[in-house]
Structure 1
Amino acid sequence: MIVRTTCFDWINTLVHMEPDRHVLSAEVCREFGIDVSDRDILRGIYAAEEEMPGGRPLRWSADEDPEVYLDYNDRVLAEAGVTPPERNTAIAMLQRFAERFKSIRLAVYEDTTPVLTELKRRGIITGVISNMPQPMGPMLAKLGLADLLDFAVTPLDVNGQGKPAAPIFLEALRRAGSDPNETLHVGDEHFVDGKGARGVGITPVIIDRHDLFGSLQGYHRITSLDELPSLLDSLS
């Protein structure tokens, strides 16, 4: 396989929230007397996002109906092995999380810049395929990644259709000028990134930074972007 293009998911692949969403969620739980580990919450987040038809709901605000957010949080806690709280407590936790979320910022993983630099050195086209509901350009520039990525595609570019639907991946192929059989897509969610990439013939690579999916079958799996150059060598 000759790899001409490598695409990347955004959150939890190239960048992460600071503090991480699962860490913040676990902290809020503990504020309300719910004893749960960061790792169990993260496991619950992945399970809930796979279960919910539209993935995780976006940030809640007080003028929105809380039901979909409460349902999501209940699923996260249940998958984490915790009994969800009664409704009033659940709403108070949702409000607290929304308050804490306002101070979250994005940070680039330590392995991101060196690996993107290495891919550019090899002449590989690089891009982002993200479900972020906003243009990526300002964020890429702010985080110092604009010169290391050739393009970024979001649902805004394909009539609102995000991963795992085919159009966002096909648009990435169009921008890269690459065929599916010479393209990789690296992402952390096998049910979104893996399923969507494979659906259009792109080779998926699952990045499992917290080593949660050691038994995952049918995908190339790495635990750090540092492993990507070696994987590229092996595929060649």
Structure 2
Amino acid sequence: MTFRAVLFDFSGTVFRLEQDETWLADLTDHEGESLDIEAQTELMRRMTAPVGQVVDLDEEHLHAWNHRDRDPVLHRKVYLEVLKQSGVPHADQAVALYTRLIDPTQWTPYPDTEAVLKGVSGKGVKLGVLSNIAFDIRPAFGRRGWDAYVDEFILSFEVGAVKPEPEIFRAAVERLGVDPAETLMVGDSEEADGAARAIGCAFALVEPLPTTERPDALLSVMRAHNVL
């Protein structure tokens, strides 16, 4: 199969929000105690999980959770609640951590991201970044000059649809001007990203491991599917 386009998920696929001790060192719980390493790790997991409700929510916050990636206001509202329920009860600390979460310059690329983006683009294959997200991730690419390799950014809060809904995948292939059958979706969620198969795309799964533990998964996928 010859692919004319590749779609990449963002979080856990080409970039990752890494656990940074400097972000979490000053966080304290309800008793004023610092969060231990297990609590810090769980906190980061909850803030970046691609699918699944991570805490119990009332009706108001459940609505915000279900629509968080369509509306930046709802995204902020529900993640501040998630932080509150995850051992960060102090509003100032929660806001500071949330602000870092939505700063695309704070995200770390995987070691092979640049080589893959450059290689795919250099082959003349259309390249899109397709993400369930409520903030603009273009600066993460632009500050490195990698935006030159990306033909389209398809972001849920701009499109008004989220994975696994077929509408967002259709929007992606339409913008790239390709047929779904000629498109490979690469992501870290079988449920969200794998839904691209419903419109006829192929799908490849990568694990959202820390960047230091996943040096070449993207390159391996591209080679396995004869893109590179």
Rounded Cα–Cα distance in structure 1 between residues aligned with 2:112 and 2:161: 29
**Is residue 224 of structure 1 aligned with residue 217 of structure 2?**
yes
Name the counterpart of 1:171: 171
Matched, 1:51 2:53: yes
1:127 Cα shift?
0.8
Q: Considering Cα pairs closer than 8 Å and 6+ residues apart, tell me whether 1 or 2 has the greater RCO.
A: 2
Q: Which amino acid aligns with 2:89?
A: I
Could you say which residue in structure 2 is the equivalent of 1:97? 94
Structure 2 stretches of 5 or more lacking a match? 55-64
Query: In 2, distance between residues paired with 1:193 and 1:22?
Result: 30
Name the residue aligned to 2:58: none
Percent of residue pairs bearing the same amino acid type: 22
How many residue pairs match? The answer is: 205
Displacement of 1:21 in angstroms is 7.8
Offset at residue 43 of structure 1 (A): 5.4
- 1:153–1:172: 8 Å Cα contact kept in structure 2? yes
Residue by residue over 1:23-74, the C-alpha shift from the partner in whole angstroms, topping out at 9 and shown as x without a partner, is 956984788344343655555567684136627688899xx867x7435764
Q: Provide structure 1 residue ranges, at least 5 long, that are not aligned to the other structure.
A: 78-84, 212-221
Describe the SS at the equivalent of 1:208. coil
> Secondary structure of the residue that 1:191 maps to in structure 2?
coil
- Aligned CA RMSD, in angstroms, stands at 4.0
* Cα pair 2:19 2:41 within 8 Å, conserved: no
Partner of 1:129: 130
TM-score by length of 1: 0.66
Q: Name the amino acid aligned to 1:187.
A: G
Partner of 1:113: 114
Q: TM-score, normalised by structure 2?
A: 0.68
Structure 2 letter corresponding to 1:204 = F
Indicate conservation of the 8 Å contact 2:72/2:157, yes or no. Answer: no
Tell me what 1:70 maps to. Answer: 81
